[in-house]
């Protein structure tokens, strides 16, 4: 049997080349700065510049709008490899996809040309403003309001409110913002808009002091009588929440990719360490207890990887069971990342608990993958409802 007859289970040559190229960039430009970025809690400018120069800044943008048009699997590979070196840096392409995907899904052709084109050209990053102080897992409980600024179809909007936990806030130039346009309709009264950092009335809170991903600024975003032109409404009025949920179906897979990447990075480092560390006259890798830990770590990382790639395929095709697979990949991979990075710290013993070694940073970074873009408790609710509705393919 020739395995090449079954390409479903192997990366194409093109995808393998993408992995090789982005890994070289990570090894040369991103990994060397990762510890300093974390220690100084600063934006990973080295990664930003390297990704921009290599067209990996926002690889998902279609060629029609000036991007490279990477498919969902290629984008996953990019994010996975960057996260293997530095999770904070992986949020650059991940959040650029998250923030701009509503425009790609539902925006007018004019909006796509303007903002996807600017993103592809590196004119600014794109963040996603959904969460609020009182609207986390209950994302429909929005309080940010957008009201008509005048009458007629060409009337713009005035935006007021606060968004919380916004990744790369302040660093990004563009923002997809969800706001209530009809408070009587709950989720069906929410619309989506593109807001620019330079718009009068837009401001930012102080950076959050976080456990991990310290290189990615997380801030509140404030909107104080921000005037938004009519043509910056994304899609149709009242359908913003629908676009937001469709976006998350696709982008939860990028969080799974982050989780796989950081888990792989921790496993790689631990493998090197246990083969060098001597105790009782021999490498600790020769002890069965260590071997069992390594076996479980490798097995679970690979299972998470395959689930993530399978979900990426469904994202590209727009399969009916994407919601289940996106939630499953994100939930499983992030749980694996937390387990594997914690075990990597254990394998290094006291050294693993110090900042002189990267696995403690990886463990701290891994934790957020269980929380953002929907907690893993929410992912389990999503999966259960999909199962109960019969929306899962029979393979």
Give me the DSSP letters along 300-338: HHHHHHHHHHHHHHHHHHT-TTHHHHHHHHHHHHHHHHH
Question: What is the C-alpha separation between 217 and 207, in angstroms, rounded?
Answer: 6
Active site residue: 80, 132, 242, 373, which one?
Answer: 373
Asked if 257 contacts 204 with a C-beta cutoff of 8 angstroms, the reply is no
Asked if 261 contacts 82 with a C-beta cutoff of 8 angstroms, the reply is yes
Closest by Cα among 121, 140, 11, 3 to 61 = 121
Specify the 3-state DSSP secondary structure of 157: strand
Specify the 3-state DSSP secondary structure of 127: strand
Question: What is the C-alpha separation between 359 and 343, in angstroms, rounded?
Answer: 9
Question: What is the C-alpha separation between 59 and 71, in angstroms, rounded?
Answer: 8
Beta strands 190-196; 233-234: pairing state: antiparallel
Active site residue 237: no
Length of the chain: 395
As to burial, measured by CB atoms within 10 angstroms (0-12 exposed, 13-18 middle, 19+ buried), residue 207 is middle
Question: What is the C-alpha separation between 134 and 180, in angstroms, rounded?
Answer: 14
Asked if 174 contacts 100 with a C-beta cutoff of 8 angstroms, the reply is yes
Active-site residues, by number, are 373
């Amino acid at each position: 049997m020739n395995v090449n007859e079954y390409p479903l289970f192997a990366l194409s040559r093109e995808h393998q080349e993408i992995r090789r190229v982005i890994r070289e960039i990570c090894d040369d430009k991103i990994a060397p700065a990762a510890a300093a970025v974390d220690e100084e809690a600063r934006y990973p400018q080295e990664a930003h510049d390297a990704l921009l120069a290599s067209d990996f800044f926002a690889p998902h943008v279609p060629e029609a709008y000036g991007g490279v048009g990477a498919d969902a699997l290629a984008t996953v590979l990019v994010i996975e490899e960057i996260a293997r070196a530095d999770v904070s840096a992986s949020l650059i392409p991940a959040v650029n996809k998250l923030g701009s995907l509503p425009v790609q899904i539902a925006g007018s052709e004019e909006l796509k040309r303007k903002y996807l084109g600017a993103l592809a050209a590196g004119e600014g990053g794109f963040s996603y403003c959904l969460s609020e102080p009182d609207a986390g897992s209950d994302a429909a409980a929005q309080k940010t309001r957008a009201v008509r600024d005048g009458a007629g179809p060409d009337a713009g909007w005035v935006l007021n409110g606060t968004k919380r936990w916004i990744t790369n806030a302040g660093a990004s130039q563009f923002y997809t913002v969800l706001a209530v346009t009809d408070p009587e309709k709950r989720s069906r009264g929410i619309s989506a808009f593109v807001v620019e950092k330079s718009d009068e009335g837009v401001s930012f809170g102080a950076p959050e002091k976080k456990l991990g991903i310290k290189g990615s600024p997380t801030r509140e975003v404030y909107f104080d009588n921000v005037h938004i032109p009519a043509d910056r409404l994304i899609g149709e009025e009242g359908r913003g929440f629908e676009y937001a949920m469709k976006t998350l179906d696709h982008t939860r897979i990028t969080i799974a990719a982050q989780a796989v990447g950081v888990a792989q990075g921790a496993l790689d480092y631990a493998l090197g360490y246990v083969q060098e560390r001597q105790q009782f006259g021999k490498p600790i890798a020769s002890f069965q207890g260590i071997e069992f830990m390594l076996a479980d770590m490798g097995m679970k990382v690979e299972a998470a990887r395959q689930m993530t790639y399978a979900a990426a395929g469904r994202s590209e095709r727009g399969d009916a069971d994407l919601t289940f697979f996106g939630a499953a990949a994100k939930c499983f991979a992030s749980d694996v990342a937390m387990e594997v990075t914690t075990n990597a710290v254990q394998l290094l013993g006291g050294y693993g608990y110090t900042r002189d070694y990267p696995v403690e940073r990886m463990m701290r970074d891994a934790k957020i993958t269980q929380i953002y873009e929907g907690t893993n408790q929410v992912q389990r609710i999503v999966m259960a409802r999909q199962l109960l509705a019969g929306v899962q393919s029979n393979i």
